């Protein structure tokens, strides 16, 4: 069982202590006897212990920086939401194919922002601008927000904030099962709670440091009972020996455990495994023993933005994967909605 995240090392930006959440976290970590350091800005977080890049990377992933979100201009997050809402950056998980490895480069530590009111105020301005249209916010573009929320309860506040708006919607996705504190949040059906699910084999070999399949399913059941709109992102869909059976078992277990009356509203997002050349390099550096298939010859090249193309499965394998998973969803979740396959 994966325990809830607890940082080994905590940095505070001094201004963070002017905010109630900053104070609370300071008191909590002091009581727990954590090593606390100060930094004028997260960019100054240097001298992390460790003898080489490999060790420093692992230590960084268990380091928390408590600071302020300075840019309150949100990035867009099409197509699943209008905006990315920034509550945290970085993640304690060690998924071999994590996109954060390339986007966060040499700064893989986790940052949490304590100026939550200002972030929610900015969200309110975006909603006001778009009224009477609905505005959707995605909270997991730069982190696995649930993985850290048992410490901060920021996500819980956001869920309740959007719960009392008419035009705001919140969504996020997680690979963690530590959801208990979110179950009584007054979400009002305005938050879609998504879990990243995969075949047991894929989670076991490629997603160390995250909750196991059985734990994620158990958490999804609790979330369904709490009345949240629920969704599953099946990603990355990865072809391994016996994948058909592995994915069938996933949908069978989900369907067996979830309460029947919640199945009608479940959304599915399907994303096949892909990699770019720069990502391959970082993966091989950070996880040199990985069994992940990263052979360009076995893939199809798809042109991408900024000249960085990605390697996806060849057409015939892609078609077979798509057909198989669609069939499973139609069988086990006849009323489920498949939002996209990519």
Residues that bind ligand SF4 (CB under 6 A): 91, 93, 95, 98, 100, 144, 175, 210
Nearer to ligand SF4 among residue 94 and residue 263 (C-beta): 94
CB of 175 or CB of 274, closer to ligand SF4: 175
Residue closer to ligand SF4, measured from CB, 135 or 140: 140
State how far the Cα of 113 lies from the Cα of 331, in Å rounded to an integer.
43
Neighbours of 247 (CB within 10 A): 24
| Strand pairing category for 135-138 and 168-174 | parallel
User: What's the min distance (Å) between Cβ of 18 and ligand SF4?
Assistant: 29
Residue closer to ligand SF4 by CB (options 45, 104) is: 104
CA distances from 122 to 25, 85, 137, 163, 183 (A): 23, 9, 12, 16, 26
Question: To the nearest whole angstrom, how small is the minimum distance from the Cβ of residue 17 to ligand SF4?
Answer: 28
Closest approach, Cβ 46 to ligand SF4, in A, equals 23
Asked whether the beta carbons of 140 and 173 are under 8 A apart, the reply is: yes
Residue 13 or 144 with smaller CB distance to ligand SF4: 144
Region of 195 (left: φ > 0; alpha: ψ -120 to 50; beta: rest) is beta
Contact 192, 267 (CB under 8 A): yes
CA 143 to chain centre: 5
To ligand SF4, the closest distance from the beta carbon of 95 in angstroms equals 3
Smallest gap from Cβ 101 to ligand SF4, in A, equals: 8
Check if the beta carbon of residue 270 is closer than 8 Å to that of residue 231: no
Q: In angstroms, what is the minimal distance from the CB of 144 to ligand SF4?
A: 4
CB of 91 to ligand SF4, least distance (A): 3
Q: Which CB, 100 or 325, lies closer to ligand SF4? A: 100
Question: Which residues neighbour 91 within 8 Å (Cβ) at sequence distance 6 or greater?
Answer: 61, 98, 100, 110, 143, 144, 147
**Bridge partners (DSSP) listed for residue 9:** 35, 63
Cα gap 307→294, rounded to integer Å: 19
Q: Smallest gap, in angstroms, from Cβ of residue 4 to ligand SF4?
A: 14
**DSSP 8-state assignment for residue 51:** S
Closest to ligand SF4 by CB, 127 vs 155, is 155
Between strands 9-12 and 63-67, the pairing is: parallel
Nearer to ligand SF4, 11 or 287 (CB): 287
- DSSP string spanning 13-39? -GGGGGSHHHHHHHHHHHHTT-EEEE-
């Amino acid at each position: 069982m994966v325990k809830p995240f607890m940082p080994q090392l905590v940095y505070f930006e001094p201004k963070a202590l002017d905010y109630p959440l900053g104070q609370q976290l300071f008191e909590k970590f002091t009581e727990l006897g954590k090593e606390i350091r100060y930094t004028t800005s997260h960019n100054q977080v240097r001298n992390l212990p460790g003898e080489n890049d490999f060790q420093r990377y692992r230590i960084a992933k268990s380091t928390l920086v408590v600071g302020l979100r300075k840019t309150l201009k949100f990035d867009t997050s099409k197509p699943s939401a209008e905006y990315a809402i920034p509550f945290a950056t970085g993640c304690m998980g060690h998924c071999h194919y994590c996109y954060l490895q390339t986007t966060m480069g040499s700064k893989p530590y986790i940052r949490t922002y304590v100026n939550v009111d200002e972030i929610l105020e900015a969200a309110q301005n975006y909603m006001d601008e778009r009224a009477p249209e609905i505005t959707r916010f995605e909270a997991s573009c730069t982190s696995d927000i649930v993985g850290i929320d048992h410490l901060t309860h920021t996500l819980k506040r956001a869920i309740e904030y959007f719960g009392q708006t008419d035009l705001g919607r919140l969504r996020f996705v997680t690979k963690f099962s530590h959801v208990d504190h979110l179950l009584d949040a007054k979400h009002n059906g305005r938050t879609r709670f998504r879990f990243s699910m995969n075949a047991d084999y894929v989670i076991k070999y490629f997603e160390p440091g995250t909750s196991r399949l059985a734990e994620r399913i158990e958490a999804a059941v609790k979330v369904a009972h709490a009345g949240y709109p629920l969704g599953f992102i099946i990603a990355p869909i990865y072809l391994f020996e016996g994948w058909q059976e592995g994915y069938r078992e996933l949908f069978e277990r989900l369907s067996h455990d979830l309460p029947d009356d919640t199945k009608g509203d479940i959304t599915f997002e399907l994303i096949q495994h892909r990699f770019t050349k720069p990502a391959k390099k970082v993966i091989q550096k950070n996880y040199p023993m990985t069994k992940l298939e990263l052979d360009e010859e076995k893939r199809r090249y798809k042109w991408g933005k900024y000249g960085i193309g990605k390697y996806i499965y060849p057409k015939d394998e892609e078609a077979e994967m798509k057909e198989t998973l669609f069939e499973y969803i139609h069988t086990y979740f006849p009323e489920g909605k498949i939002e996209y396959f990519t």
